[in-house]
Amino acid sequence: MKIKSKLKILIISLVTIITTTFCEKEKVEKPVINEFEITNSSIVAGVPVKFKVYCDADKASFWSGAEGEDYDHYMELINNPSSDEENKIRDYDEGQDLDPIKDTIAFGKYNEPGTYTATFIAINIGNYGEDIKTAIQKLEVIVEASE
């Protein structure tokens, strides 16, 4: 009996060691936004605006702040849902998905003069989606009327 008991304890110990060693959760760090700036010398309505974007992250998203790409408006809509029927037909703002390794330039186009908020979001994902860390940086974009 003592040998079976010791063998059972050994097997349980080995299984515990293997599962804690090989099933260890991946530690996810908060992503870093290294650069988010406008490269245009002037910003005029109707003319594309070039943004330099760079981050150390798994995924990234750019929201120009123009109509249909307004991150703050999107968050307002999803945080204050209306009726189910209205949600089905509602148009939600969308950002541009970027590959943080390949995409270092993003574009926005503002058709009307005014002040907009461009938003750059860097995302790190770990543990099969259980652990998500984000970094968000915003830029004020002042668009002048075209001459």
For residue 147, the number of C-alpha atoms closer than 13 Å in the C-beta half-sphere is: 2
pLDDT recorded at residue 16: 61
This prediction has a pTM of 0.77
**Residue 40: pLDDT band with limits 50, 70, 90:** very high
Residues contacting 20, CB < 8 A, separation 6+: none
Q: pLDDT tens digits for 83-100?
A: 666 666 667 888 999 999
pLDDT recorded at residue 138: 97
Any idea which architecture 25-143 has in CATH?
Sandwich (2.60)
pLDDT recorded at residue 43: 95
Distance CA 92, CA 88 (A): 10
Tokens 């059972």 locate to 8
